[in-house]
Chains A and B, each alone.
Chain A
Amino acid sequence: MKRIPAWGGWVLGVLALVVLGAQALEAQQQSAGASVTIASLQARLAALAPQVAYLKDRRDIFDAMKRYTRGADRHDKDLVRSAFWPEATISVDKPMTVDEYVDSEERLLASYAAHQHHITGQTIDIQGNAAHVESYVIFFIVPRDGRGDTQGPATPGHALTSAKSTVSSGRYIERWEKRDGEWKILVRNFVEDLELKGDTVDYCGSRPCIGTWDRNDLSYMRPLQPVTAEQRRERAEANKKTHSPDGARK
């Protein structure tokens, strides 16, 4: 092995130290840079997550509420039921189970010629997996002339123009719970605040009406296709034959 002179050893030593130092410094800077970036991203994500969760919770709660009103208006009991936890208590006139409520409400709504429930806004107070929600509701009820009804699954009916229609305004005051990421109603109290009476209009008696109380309604069609004038007429014609679970009523 070739001998290295003494001064050479020192020079190499100093060089080595410079290189080592530079390498060590660079490595430290790199890893410090990376960890700062990840840590700051984690902090930003942690700050973002609750804000997004809040928006998503509000959206999911409104969405589930719309399942209830849409289900009630279309007489789709499964859709109504999907807004409540199985053990929910619903107090309208008296406390009811979900099944009692779904059946009694559907029966009540079937006794009208037409009805529609508008949720106009919600106040939501979320505490973890529980939420207190107040939903403003305006609903319309048109009295039914059941004399032409035949027995069968409930359909929209003919309006009884000799009786008044009702526009009601009230609030669903509820406690909701989130389970496995899903929000549903656990307690409902309904409070009616005011009612207006108006003259009943037999809209479907004079103009084509195509809404139905089953899954034949246009809102269920996938993919939605434009309805031709002919199809519209056919649907309106079919709607003139009205049914109710009890058959003809006076």
Chain B
Amino acid sequence: MNAFASPARVLFAAMAALPLLAACTDGEKSEVDAAALASAEKQVAELESAVRQVADDSAILQNELKYTRGLDRHDEKLSRDAFWPDAIITYGNVIPPNDIGTWANSVHSKRAAHQHHVTGLTLDVDGDTAHEEGYILFTADVQRDTSADTNGVPSPGRVLRGSKATLGTGRYVNRYERRDGQWKMAVHEYVHDLSVSFEPVDLCATACMGRWDPADLSYQRPLQALSESERGQRIERGKKPTEQLLP
């Protein structure tokens, strides 16, 4: 009966050999996999570093634009939100971050119109700290004809006849800090470089639609195309500027 037993022996031998065989093929396979993994890992690391640079740039520019949009829309929460609560802001005098919106609004409300453009920034990131210089192009001193104001929520005003306005350019010099993945300003300085004087146009006399409150079109969700009558209403509203007048 030895003849019948031998297939069993063969199979036993095969069973014993199989794990070895499997280990051999696995070994080859895992060597290939390890090489593919290593190259994929290297590529991921390169991509991560590039994405980090692009994302840091983008996040800091967005934060800077959040600040200037807050100024231009008189949105105190928006401009305050660009700073850490312990930030140091100096415009000649130190302004507590909590007061930045109210301070800026009190200055800007006296003007007929203003706009701040951030045209680009230079960024120097070191871990969770970044030094940043933002180029600013703005007009903030269009003189307001306050005789046209009635009492209400501050809005863009009428331009004082015969006045001049300046186009200014300067730089925000900032130290940014990243906390919990978010970049905000920790130190904010402003350096003014020059001004040029021009004759302003009394835009609201004909057609201005911008607002210094959430009624501004940029807040509308979802944005709808203005009908002709809505546009007309906004322009009429713009012709009658309001300001918080003393009782």
Question: Using a CB–CB distance below 8 Å, which chain A residues touch chain B?
Answer: 3-6, 8-10, 12-13, 16-17, 19-20, 23-24, 27, 31, 34-35, 38, 41-42, 45, 48-49, 52-53, 55-56, 59, 62-63, 66-67, 69-70, 73, 113-116, 118-120, 138, 140, 142, 156, 159, 165, 167, 196, 198-201, 203, 207-211, 217-219, 221-227, 229, 232
Contacts and interface: CB of A to CB of B under 8 A. Distances in A.
Contacts of B166: 201
Contacts of A201: 166, 194-197
Interface string B3-36: 0111110011011001100100110010001001
Contact of A223 (B1, B94, B129): B129
A142 B196 CA distance: 8
B196 A115 contact: no
Contact of A165 (B4, B6, B196): B196
A17 B194 contact: no
A24 to B, nearest CB: 8
Given A218-B191, A224-B174, A27 B26 contact: yes
Given A23-B22, A167-B196, A218-B191, A223 B173 contact: no
A227 B198 CA distance: 31
Nearest to A224: B175
Contact of B196 (A41, A62, A140): A140
Given A16-B11, A118-B137, A211 B171 contact: yes
B159 to A, nearest CB: 16
Contacts of B14: 16, 20
B22 to A, nearest CB: 5
Contact of B120 (A41, A66, A167): A66
Interface string B93-136: 11000000000000000000000010111110000010101010
B181 to A, nearest CB: 19
Given A31-B25, A203-B168, 9 more contacts: A9-B4, A12-B12, A16-B12, A45-B47, A52-B54, A55-B54, A211-B170, A222-B131, A226-B94
B26 A62 contact: no
Contacts of B174: 224
Contacts of A12: 8, 11-12
B40 A42 contact: yes
Nearest to A232: B92
Interface string B75-97: 00000000000001010111000
Contacts of B117: 118, 120
A203 B171 CA distance: 15
A3 B167 contact: no
B189 interface: yes
25 contacts: A9-B8, A34-B33, A42-B36, A45-B44, A55-B51, A66-B122, A70-B122, A114-B194, A116-B193, A118-B117, A120-B120, A142-B194, A142-B196, A159-B194, A198-B197, A203-B192, A209-B193, A211-B171, A211-B192, A219-B131, A219-B191, A223-B175, A226-B187, A229-B92, A229-B93
A140 to B, nearest CB: 5
A118 B11 contact: no
Interface in B18-76: 18-19, 22, 25-26, 29, 33, 36-37, 40, 43-44, 47, 50-51, 53-54, 57
B164 interface: yes
Contacts of A207: 192
Contact of B47 (A6, A52, A118, A142): A52
